[in-house]
Amino acid sequence: MPAKRRRSSTSEHPSIQILKRTRTRHPDDYIDGLSDELLIHILQLLPLETLVQCQRLSRRFYTLACDSQIWKNLYYTRFVLPRALRIPGIRNAPRDDALNFSSRRSLWLGENALVNPVDGKKTNWKGQYKLRHNWSIGACEIQEIHVAGRPTVPSMQVKLAEKVVVTADEEEGLRAWDLKDKKLIAKYALQECLVPTCLAVDERHSGSGLGIALGYMDGGWGVWRLDTKQKKFVLAYEHPKSSNGRLGAVAYAYPYILTITDSQRLSLYTFSNEQDPALSYADPLPTPRHLASLRSHTSWPPLSLSLRPSSSYLIASITYTLPVYPQGYSVGIQELHLSPLTGTITSSRLATALPQGFTSLSSPTSRSPGGPTSSSIEYHSAPPTSLSYAHPYILTTHSDNTLSLHLCTSTASSLSLSPATRLWGHTASVVAAQITPRGKAVSVASGAHAANSGTHPDNAHEQPKSARRESYGGELRIWDLEGSQTRRQRERSVQVGSPGSGKRWVGFDEEVVVVLEEEGGLVLTVHDFT
């Protein structure tokens, strides 16, 4: 057998050496040699459309065009500076560091959480700009979460907090839905005899979970903790039923619970123990202490309860519908100032939006001073369809396609309500709305015919045609009502729902709007603006 020929490095097909192509710069390319710092300064001066196009040139330009300081400047110029210039005396005053986004003295007007995040994470200014831009033009992605096969009576209770939607109804009990994955993350079955009628969420301790308060048809109520990490509800306390009847509303701000029945009986409880005032939020809840019980003769539905705790006192507020003879309906508010240690009521103040010379059917004891004359006020003939209160704003919705906005002024010595500012723009009965303390609001109507009519913003370019679409199944509008007592409000509209769908509830946060709709069953429609 002949010996095998030894393999040699020299073969008939020598390997082809691949040479790297040397990068050559075009003689007219003056940009490639510039430093990153200089290019960032140049990109800051470009219009937004050109800046976005520069991201497509190369990886280097994509990185530079996404620089945090560029988008922080754009965010401040478009979304913060216009609000700062509306402060009385600022527009005509000499410009200083307070109106410079990079200054330590700059005015961010409630946006400090983005400038100095509590969790220490860096703010994605490009993402924040995109989010606010999508809100301004009504651009969003719509997804649905089916929560029930048929409508529930009474209506399903829904709340949105910390990217979680909490629902409660007689058949399915207490449930929590994650808006990121659109999936059910926790469920708690209620007893067969318990029918939920009101729901409140305390998100001030979101690091350790959400506090849930649920009121029932029989006058009882319960408190749960939603552990979002372990994805489960934990029953903390259950209050027995009461002979006072069905609970119409509940407010929860640990350790306080505020409830009101359909018979207008207001009750305030606290879980704080006098022997242990430093009781932790994570500890098992003891039997609550009954602080106060009041009976009202003027608090007609729809109404809203609110708790604003502080270190020195607790403000418990009830905002309610007020029948007016013979004009129709108005709104009123009552504030109870309580000592957080003893629970005693230190003061009680009442204000209504009634003008001087008018009385309600229930003859309230006080009115807002300085109101307009009775001849200049037009009241709604029917009660509001919903009411939302977030200090200092009260927003009511009506079946005549309008909304009414009131401004509540609360000082150490007085409480007053402004006359109603009528908001137009919907093309059908407005069934639900929600407002924040910063004046941002969302309202929803059923069976709208077209969304391209009504109020338009001050500047035409702020509401492009894509944000004014026809909607035959419903209409959702986004309002910027901050300072609307002195300037024209701004609003956007987006399509919501399908033909014939009924709207029951609306809620929103920084990124999403959630609408509870009736389409054979019950559906949560999530409008994601990210």
Domain residue spans in the chain? 37-107
Euclidean distance between CA atoms 436 and 393, whole angstroms: 8
Q: Which pLDDT tens digits describe the chain residue by residue (530 residues)?
A: 556 555 555 545 555 565 555 555 666 666 777 888 898 898 999 999 999 999 998 898 999 999 998 999 899 888 888 777 777 766 665 555 555 555 555 667 777 778 777 777 888 999 999 999 999 888 899 999 998 887 776 788 999 998 999 999 998 999 999 998 889 999 999 988 899 999 999 988 766 689 999 999 999 999 999 988 888 999 999 999 888 889 999 999 988 999 999 999 999 998 876 545 455 556 678 888 888 888 887 778 999 999 998 778 889 999 999 888 777 888 999 998 888 777 778 888 999 987 655 555 544 444 444 444 444 556 777 889 999 999 999 999 999 999 999 999 988 888 999 999 999 888 889 999 999 998 899 999 876 443 333 333 333 333 333 233 333 356 889 998 875 544 445 566 565 544 445 668 999 999 999 999 887 788 899 999 98
Beta bridge partner(s), residue 232:
227
* Cis, bond preceding 82 (omega within 30 deg of 0): no
pTM above 0.75, yes or no: yes
Q: What residues contact residue 209 under an 8 Å CB cut-off, 6+ apart?
A: 225, 226, 227, 228, 229
Distance CA 439, CA 408 (A): 12
CA distance 202 to 212: 6
Distance CA 396, CA 350 (A): 19
How, if at all, do strands 221-227 and 210-216 pair? Answer: antiparallel
Give Cα separations from 357 to 111, 353, 366, 373, 415 (angstroms).
Answer: 43, 12, 11, 8, 18
Strand pairing report for 415-417 and 403-410: antiparallel
Q: Find all residues with CB under 8 Å of 142, minimum gap 6, and list them.
A: 496, 525, 526, 527, 528
d(CA 362, CA 89): 43
Judge contact between 201 and 211, C-beta under 8 A: yes
Q: Are 171 and 194 in contact (CB under 8 A)?
A: no
